[in-house]
Amino acid sequence: MTRLGIIGGGQLARMLAQAAHKLDISTLVLDPKADACAGQVSELIQAEYDDQTALNQLAEQCDVLTYDFENVPAAGLQQLAGHCPVFPGVDILAVAQDRLSEKTLFGELDIAVPEFHAINSRPDLLAALEQTGYPAVLKTRRFGYDGKGQSILRQPEDMEPAWRRFEGHPLILEQFVRYDWECSVIGVRSAEGEIAYYPLARNHHNHGILDYSHAPIPNLDAGLKATAQSYLRRILEKFDYVGVLTLELFVVNGQPYANEIAPRVHNSGHWSIDGTACSQFENHVRACCGLPLGDTRAIGESLMLNWIGDLPDSAPYLKIDGLHWHPYGKQAREGRKVGHATLTAADREVFHAQVRQLAKLHGNPELVEFVTQS
């Protein structure tokens, strides 16, 4: 039996493990926390991510390794890669860990990217702000996720506090993009070079955290879709990539601009568990374990809603036909993703009726507008 090692034991590892088990692939997760939520569904090694002895143990006990977040120390993984395959490879992981390398890569591959500047000093920041003007976004190059490690500079007075907040860290200043909407494209590549794309998802963020996603996007412009897929393919092919890759995009005047990549399964693809024949989790496992890729086509339309901070009582939600409930087995905590729900329906009218029910229960009428405006 194949054994898949997963570094990081959050909800992504949990859903990867659940997908692996369906294929009779066992899993071993490594996470510093004894109560990591993937540990409820998989065997777990409790160790720090830079504990080389524990990483070696993981590699010895598994046939192939993957990770569920970007901030795994790349050097430690590089050492393992000689003994046990690591997918996606350590080279793309290193790029995704640094916003400057990531944006430089976009430029090299002719992928449209909003203006950005490397910031290593206060004069760098002043000079860059001359170019971008206000507003602009100052971000740490490393360890930022879900809107963490970033500050919007709306006016000159915002510069000093933001500089003091991040001083000492390598930084990047980005033009503030007045995007019309946001989307993501998720694809999977096998070791043989076969590529399959999921339908693009339209995403809505709140304070930098994904709130909800709708896929497929009805009436999506064919040119936008082709450009987004071509951007993703360029990255997949450059790195001889194996597994699932996500590219987040801003759409301005119908044109996509790359924001960031995630060399892994992604929150904006959770809808695929219920909304496709083969989810992003299953396809990632299939690609890593050398199995044929599965069908990425959508079954009707889906809306995925994140539960952030606390999980509501499921009972009223479960009354909605077509609603799938996904708790992560995590303790409630402000800003923490603790679960999600996905509404899926094959018929558009039925889907809209269900979204109206969900919006009413959730007290969020914007959901109806979100799925009808595309």
Query: Exposed, middle or buried by CB within 10 Å (0-12, 13-18, 19+), for 204?
Result: middle
In the complex with ligand AMP, the residue whose CB is nearer, 227 or 259, is 259
Distance of alpha carbon 26 from alpha carbon 3, whole angstroms: 5
In this structure, what are the phi and psi dihedrals at residue 83, rounded to the nearest 5 degrees? -100, -30
Q: How far is the CB of 130 from ligand AMP (least distance, A)?
A: 17
CB of 176 to ligand AMP, least distance (A): 5
- CB atoms under 10 Å from CB of 364, counted, come to 15
Smallest distance, Å, CB 42 to ligand AMP?
A: 28
Residue 31, classed as helix, strand or coil, is strand
Closer CB to ligand AMP, 182 or 282, in the complex: 182
Task: Output 177 or 220, the one with its CB closest to ligand AMP.
Answer: 177
Residue with Cβ nearer ligand AMP (211 or 282): 211
d(CA 228, CA 232): 6
**Pair 306, 364: CB distance under 8 Å:** no
Task: Compute the least distance from the CB of residue 201 to ligand AMP, in Å.
Answer: 12
Q: Which is nearer to ligand AMP, 7 or 210 (CB)?
A: 210
In the chain, the amino acid numbered 265 is V
CB 310 within 8 A of CB 331: no
In this complex, which beta carbon is closest to ligand AMP, that of residue 286 or of residue 340? 340
At its nearest, how many Å lie between ligand AMP and the CB of residue 116? 8
For the CB of residue 138, give the shortest distance to ligand AMP in the complex, in Å: 10
d(CA 201, CA 66): 24
CB closer to ligand AMP out of 9 and 114: 114
Q: What is the DSSP string of 75-117?
A: HHHHHHHTTS-BSS-HHHHHHHT-HHHHHHHHHHTT-----EE
Of 289, 281, 286, nearest to 340 by C-alpha is 281
Of the two residues 116 and 281, which places its CB atom closer to ligand AMP in the complex? 116
Please report, as ranges, the residues that interact with ligand AMP according to CB under 6 A: 114, 137, 144, 147, 174, 176-177, 182, 205, 208, 248, 259-260
Question: Rounded CA gap, 348 and 364, in Å?
Answer: 20
Tell me the closest approach of the beta carbon of residue 140 to ligand AMP, in angstroms.
Answer: 10
**C-beta of 261: minimal distance to ligand AMP in Å?**
10
Q: Which two tokens stand for residue 277?
A: 């024949």
